[in-house]
């Protein structure tokens, strides 16, 4: 058979992915089997695959493929997220590049563009996932804004409103006066900028005295409604209960005290403008202050300001400075550096502004979600996130669910008359309710005005595990009953609160049941300098290029190898390279086995029979280890177990023992065992490396169309012999020692040598002597009961081995080596004796620990005795008499 010595992934990958699709292996419908369900964390609909997705989806695919092979009905639901902020921003900039401004479009026109964009770019990312090997049930592909999901979100909003959990409230938002929209906290960046600190005098009412306040924004003095000091500040204690006069507008405002004020900063005296600063706003709430909003949407001053109406906020600052100077209120102006928030989109300075928003009350609704995690009903991996979760849930704030955007689920509230509103699932129902509420039967749809805002993206994705099975619209449908709760959720810790916690809340609120059993939190993919991978830094490799270069299997292995849960993954090309090398290793092991011809009359060598006997146990141990790794979600360790089992044990040891001499046939028993081991190992490998395992599995034996490793059974853990495995470990040690000895003494591997073993007690690897003979090219291995002359020796356990070398021994070197050994063992014995001579240790230590120490003592004494004997034999009298 002519098989290339290098595995070529490209052809195999496309071939097998379409084979799997053709046979519907990814499809899941409810049946009598136990379900295993994962819902995908929906990527942004117009996004492209990045390294984070690669990691995340590889893990999901590993879990889903393993569950499928364990005989469960595995269902992985794919889908995409409308991602209102990101998508709308992208559409806006796309339109801009065509010379179209959003503000010149109607809402309907804009949405048309947005949908067009979505249809054009939507789903690219899902196609990319197929290249990775993702075994999603593509017939179930969803979108957070498709008809069913849209309807679900609206229903939930209305329901929560009717339950009194949704309310309207005032909140400070980041206003971008240039784009004239609110932006989210994530879209604000801070820069340190040079500015000025103005010291301004406020007259005290009734006294001929002033207080001085330091501010960076004198124009907002026009909106001041208090002046505040720290209650512990002696300097202002006398002002308790007084009022002061705001300069320029001559408004009387109270002098108040609040712990928030930093006594060290400026004069220790702070002016309070609740409408234009988040901290002032909160102080205002605490003290019942009035808010005066002095800005228009575009950042110019409005009528409330009384002065400088129509001036831009920065022009107003200069005007205010002049006006204060004129009124003799300005004490001084100092240069000052402060942090300025700017809009990521327009770079305009953010103006904090009060606005009316929709909120969801979180306290009561989130209690079951808190208990589910703290009580262990839902497990987080790694568990260190549990504390974080609890802390957040215990201090949960109400959720602001409205966004000043067009792309998303439009808030189903309709306003009428002046300031009245109703919340309803449709305009018709809203109209009916409005008529009833107002008592005016003549209201028409024209009198209603729907809220302009949309809902926060997370307000749709928090329902994802439910809406994936249409559980809001059809609460008792068979899919939902079968698949919900889902099993595992794989996502990034950065959205533990935004998404995971809220899904748990929604799960209890709408299903009375958690949405998943386990949450596995992956790390962030970073580059070698620990920088987050991002498009703007240009430090993120193109995933599809990587797949082309290293193969999907190689990339998957690369992502998994160094990504223990919750740890950041420092990406480097050497990772997928290691994965590719592993694929190549598997490929070549296959080439070897496939090249063998079976000799009908060939007898099985003793060494081969022993290798088969050991390999069976080693695989048994591997399976058990992998099983336990998966149960604890140690996915990268499970992979490492498979990796070492295949590379070291199977390829490095087993095949080296069993493989026949070149051109000679192999015996039937060894051949069959090898094929069977290979088959088992491929199944263990399949979840991690679906393509190469399928490719080889198909070639390993005669297969019919429709057969596939992906629907074969995963080997199940059973009993295995630890004694046998540890016996073989001593064989490995012995073989390594002989190889090392050959290397040190320049004995070519082709030259046959003799080996004597002199066990004190039993040598654990004794039954494997034929294996040692085979691997070390020995003339023979014989047991002796006395020391051998003219031989170099080494010890494995308590057994002494001798390689006779005639007169060629370097006695000096040998003595030095043995002395070194002796020193180590004497030191070790000493430390053991220290414990055993300590009465308190003997009294307090549990008996297994004590027994162990005694065994260590006798083993050490045994070794020391043989070493001393050996030294004497070499004629080294002096040192050997020095015993401690």
Interacting residues with RNA between 831 and 850 (CB under 7 A):
832, 835, 838, 840-841, 844-846, 849
CA dist 559 and 553 (Å) reads: 10
Q: Which C-beta is closer to RNA: that of 268 or that of 299?
A: 268
Q: Does the footprint of RNA cover residue 5 (CB under 7 A)?
A: yes
Asked if residue 852 binds RNA (CB under 7 A), the reply is yes
Q: How far is the CB of 606 from RNA (least distance, A)?
A: 20
User: What minimum distance in Å lies between the beta carbon of 749 and RNA?
Assistant: 7
- Helix 552-561 vs helix 124-132: angle between axes, to the nearest 10 degrees? 90
Bridge-based pairing state of the strands 598-599 and 666-667: parallel
Quick one: 94 or 836, whose CB is closer to RNA? 836
Interface with RNA, residue 859, by CB under 7 A:
yes
Name the token pair of 717.
Answer: 């853990």
Other beta carbons within 10 angstroms of residue 288's beta carbon come to 9
The answer to whether the beta carbons of residues 72 and 483 sit under 8 Å apart is no
What is the distance between the alpha carbons of residues 87 and 108, in angstroms, rounded to a whole number?
16
Q: Is 265 in the site for RNA (CB under 7 A)?
A: no
CB of 121 or CB of 361, closer to RNA = 361
Q: Give the one residue of 517, 659, 668, 819 binding RNA; rule: CB under 7 A.
A: 659
Structure tokens at 95: 């339109």
Asked if residues 488 and 631 have their Cβ atoms less than 8 Å apart, the reply is no
CB 535 within 8 A of CB 527: no
Q: Does 263 bind RNA (CB under 7 A)?
A: no
Nearer to RNA, 602 or 637 (CB): 637
Judged by CB under 7 A, which of 123, 828, 872, 873 binds RNA?
828
Cα separation, 128 vs 654, in Å, equals 39
Question: Among residues 107 and 384, whose Cβ is nearest to RNA?
Answer: 384
Minimum CB separation of residue 666 from RNA in Å reads 12
The DSSP symbol for 186 reads G
Closest approach, Cβ 709 to RNA, in A, equals 20
Quick one: 423 or 772, whose CB is closer to RNA?
772
Binding mask 741-760 for RNA (x = CB under 7 A): --x-----x-----------
149 lines the binding site for RNA (CB under 7 A):
no
Among 210, 482, 497, 720, binds RNA (CB under 7 A): 497
Task: Quote the least distance from Cβ 584 to RNA, whole Å.
Answer: 4
Q: Closer to RNA at the Cβ: 159 or 602? A: 602
Query: Which CB atom, from 392 or from 720, has the smaller least distance to RNA?
Result: 392
Binding footprint of RNA, residue count (CB under 7 A): 71
Q: Does 884 bind RNA (CB under 7 A)?
A: no
User: Restricting to residues 498-537, which ones interact with RNA according to CB under 7 A?
Assistant: 523, 530
* Out of 10, 205, 322, 388, the residue judged to bind RNA by CB under 7 A: 388
Answer for the pair 521, 23: CB distance below 8 angstroms, yes or no: no
Q: Does residue 825 belong to the site contacting RNA (CB under 7 A)?
A: yes
Task: Out of 185, 234, 364, 601, name the contact with RNA by CB under 7 A.
Answer: 185
Distance CA 507, CA 483 (A): 13
Q: How far apart are CA 867 and CA 820, in angstroms?
A: 10
Query: SS3 sequence, 467-502?
Result: HCCCCCCCCCCHHHHHHCCEEEEEECHHHHHHHHHH
State yes or no: residue 539 binds RNA (CB under 7 A).
no
Q: Which is closer to RNA, CB of 388 or CB of 881?
A: 388
Query: Which of 311, 472, 506, 561 contacts RNA by CB under 7 A?
Result: 561
**Measured between alpha carbons, how far is residue 625 from residues 612, 686, 716 in Å?**
20, 16, 11
6-25 positions binding RNA, by CB under 7 A = 6-7
Question: Sheet holding 791-796: strands in order across?
Answer: 778-783, 753-759, 799-804, 791-796
Token pair listed for 276 = 């234009």
Stretch that binds RNA, among 130-138, 229-237, 346-354, 734-742 (CB under 7 A): 734-742
Instruction: Give the integer Cα–Cα distance in Å for 537 and 345.
Output: 17
What is the distance between the alpha carbons of residues 50 and 542, in angstroms, rounded to a whole number? Answer: 7
567 touching RNA, by CB under 7 A: yes
Stretch binding RNA (CB under 7 A), from 350-358, 481-489, 599-607, 820-828: 820-828
Contact 501, 393 (CB under 8 A): yes
The answer to the question of residue 765 lying near RNA (CB under 7 A) is: no
Query: CA–CA separation, 746 vs 737, rounded Å?
Result: 14
Window 366-385: residues binding RNA (CB under 7 A): 384
Half-sphere exposure at residue 642, Cβ-oriented, CA atoms within 13 angstroms: 32
Out of 52, 177, 471, 493, the only residue in the binding site for RNA (CB under 7 A) is 493
Indicate which single residue of 148, 637, 729, 879 sits in contact with RNA (rule: CB under 7 A): 637
720 makes contact with RNA (CB under 7 A): no
Assess contact for 287 and 258: CB atoms under 8 A: yes
Of residues 579-608, those binding RNA (CB under 7 A): 580-581, 583-585, 588-589, 591-592, 595
Q: Is 216 in the site for RNA (CB under 7 A)?
A: no
C-beta of 382: minimal distance to RNA in Å?
Answer: 7
- Closer residue to RNA, CB minimum distance, 91 or 589: 589
Q: Does 807 bind RNA (CB under 7 A)?
A: no
Block residue for tokens 């059974």: 713
**Nearer residue to RNA within complex by CB, 100 or 845:** 845
Choices 126-134, 147-155, 644-652, 685-693; region in contact with RNA by CB under 7 A: 644-652
**Looking at residue 188, what DSSP letter applies?**
E
* Contacting residue, 18, 191, 338, 387, with RNA by CB under 7 A: 387
CA distance 830 to 863: 14
Query: Which of the 8 DSSP states describes residue 102?
Result: G
What is the rounded CA–CA span in Å between residue 601 and residue 609?
16
What are the tokens at 858? 């006798």
How many Å from the N-terminal Cα to the C-terminal Cα in the chain?
Answer: 65
């Amino acid at each position: 058979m002519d098989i290339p010595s290098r595995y070529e992934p490209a052809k195999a990958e496309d071939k097998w992915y379409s084979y799997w699709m053709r046979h519907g292996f990814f499809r899941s419908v409810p049946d009598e089997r136990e379900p295993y369900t994962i819902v995908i964390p929906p990527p942004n609909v117009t996004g492209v695959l990045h390294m984070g997705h690669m990691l995340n989806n590889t893990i999901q695919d590993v879990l889903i493929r393993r569950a499928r092979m364990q005989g469960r009905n595995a269902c992985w639901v794919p889908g995409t997220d409308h991602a209102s902020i990101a998508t709308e921003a992208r559409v806006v900039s796309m339109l801009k590049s065509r010379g179209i401004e959003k503000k010149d479009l109607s809402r309907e026109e804009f949405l048309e563009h947005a949908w067009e964009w979505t249809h054009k770019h939507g789903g690219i990312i899902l196609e990319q996932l197929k290249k990775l090997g993702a075994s999603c049930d593509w017939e179930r592909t969803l979108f957070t804004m498709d008809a069913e999901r849209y309807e679900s979100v609206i229903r939930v909003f209305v329901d929560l409103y009717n339950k009194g959990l949704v309310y309207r409230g005032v909140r400070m938002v980041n206003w971008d006066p240039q784009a004239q929209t609110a932006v989210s906290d994530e879209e604000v960046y801070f820069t340190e900028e040079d500015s000025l600190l103005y010291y301004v005098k406020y007259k005290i009412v009734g006294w001929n005295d002033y207080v001085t306040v330091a501010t960076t924004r004198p124009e907002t003095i026009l909106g001041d409604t208090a002046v505040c000091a720290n209650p512990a500040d002696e300097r202002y204690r006398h002002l308790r209960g007084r009022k002061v006069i705001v300069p320029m507008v001559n408004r009387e405002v109270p002098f108040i005290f609040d712990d928030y004020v930093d006594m060290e900063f400026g004069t220790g005296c702070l002016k309070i403008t609740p409408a234009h600063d988040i901290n002032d706003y909160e102080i205002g709430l605490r003290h019942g202050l009035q808010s005066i909003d002095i800005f228009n949407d575009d950042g110019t001053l409005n009528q409330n300001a009384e002065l400088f109406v129509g001036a831009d906020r920065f022009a107003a600052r200069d005007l205010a400075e002049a006006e204060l100077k004129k009124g003799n209120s300005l004490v001084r102006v100092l240069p000052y550096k402060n942090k300025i928030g700017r809009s990521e989109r327009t770079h305009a300075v953010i103006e904090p502004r009060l606005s009316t928003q929709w909120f969801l009350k979180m306290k009561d609704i989130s209690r079951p979600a808190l208990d589910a995690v703290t009580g262990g009903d839902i497990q987080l991996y790694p568990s260190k996130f549990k504390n974080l979760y609890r802390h957040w849930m215990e201090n949960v704030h109400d959720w602001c669910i409205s966004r000043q955007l067009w792309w998303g689920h439009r808030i189903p509230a309709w306003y009428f008359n002046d300031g009245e509103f109703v919340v309803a699932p449709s305009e018709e129902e809203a109209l009916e309710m409005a008529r009833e509420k107002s008592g005016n039967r003549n209201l028409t749809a024209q009198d209603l005005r729907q809220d302009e805002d949309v809902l926060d993206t997370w307000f749709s994705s928090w329902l994802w595990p439910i809406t994936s099975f249409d559980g809001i619209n059809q609460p008792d449908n068979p899919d939902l009953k079968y698949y919900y709760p889902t099993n595992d959720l794989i996502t990034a810790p950065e959205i533990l609160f935004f998404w995971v916690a809220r899904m748990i809340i929604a799960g209890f609120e709408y299903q009375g049941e958690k949405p998943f059993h386990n949450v596995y939190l992956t790390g962030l993919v970073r580059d070698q300098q620990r920088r987050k991978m991002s498009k703007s830094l240009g430090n993120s490799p193109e995933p599809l290029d990587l797949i082309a270069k290293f193969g999907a299997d190689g990339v998957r292995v690369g992502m998994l190898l160094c990504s223990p849960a919750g740890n950041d993954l420092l990406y480097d090309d050497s990772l997928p390279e290691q994965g590719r090398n592993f694929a190549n290793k598997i490929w070549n092991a296959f080439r070897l086995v496939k090249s063998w011809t079976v000799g009908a009359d060939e007898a099985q060598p003793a060494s081969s029979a022993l290798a088969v006997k050991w390999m069976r146990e080693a695989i048994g141990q591997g399976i058990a280890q992998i099983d336990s790794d998966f149960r604890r979600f140690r996915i990268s360790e499970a992979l490492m177990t498979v990796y070492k089992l295949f590379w070291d044990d199977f390829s490095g040891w087993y095949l080296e023992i069993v493989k026949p001499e070149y051109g000679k046939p192999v015996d039937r028993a060894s051949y069959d065992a090898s094929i069977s081991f290979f088959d088992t190992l491929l199944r263990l490998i399949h979840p991690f490396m679906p393509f190469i395992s399928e490719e080889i599995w198909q070639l390993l034996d005669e297969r019919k169309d429709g057969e596939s490793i992906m629907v074969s059974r995963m080997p199940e853990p059973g009993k295995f012999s630890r004694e046998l495995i540890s016996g073989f470990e001593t064989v490995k040690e012995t073989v390594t020692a002989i190889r090392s000895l050959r290397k040190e003494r320049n004995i070519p591997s082709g030259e046959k040598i003799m080996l004597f073993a002199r066990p004190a007690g039993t040598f654990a690897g004794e039954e494997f002597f034929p294996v040692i003979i085979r691997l070390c090219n020995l003339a023979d291995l014989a047991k002796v009961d006395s020391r051998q002359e003219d031989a170099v020796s080494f010890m494995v356990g308590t057994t002494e081995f001798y390689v006779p070398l005639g007169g060629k021994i370097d006695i000096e070197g040998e003595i030095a080596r043995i002395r070194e050994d002796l020193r180590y063992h004497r030191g070790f014995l000493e430390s053991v004796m220290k414990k055993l001579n300590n009465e308190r240790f003997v009294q307090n230590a549990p008996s297994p620990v004590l027994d162990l120490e005694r065994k260590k003592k006798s083993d050490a004494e045994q070794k020391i005795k043989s070493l001393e004997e050996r030294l004497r034999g070499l004629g080294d009298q002096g040192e050997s008499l020095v015993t401690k």
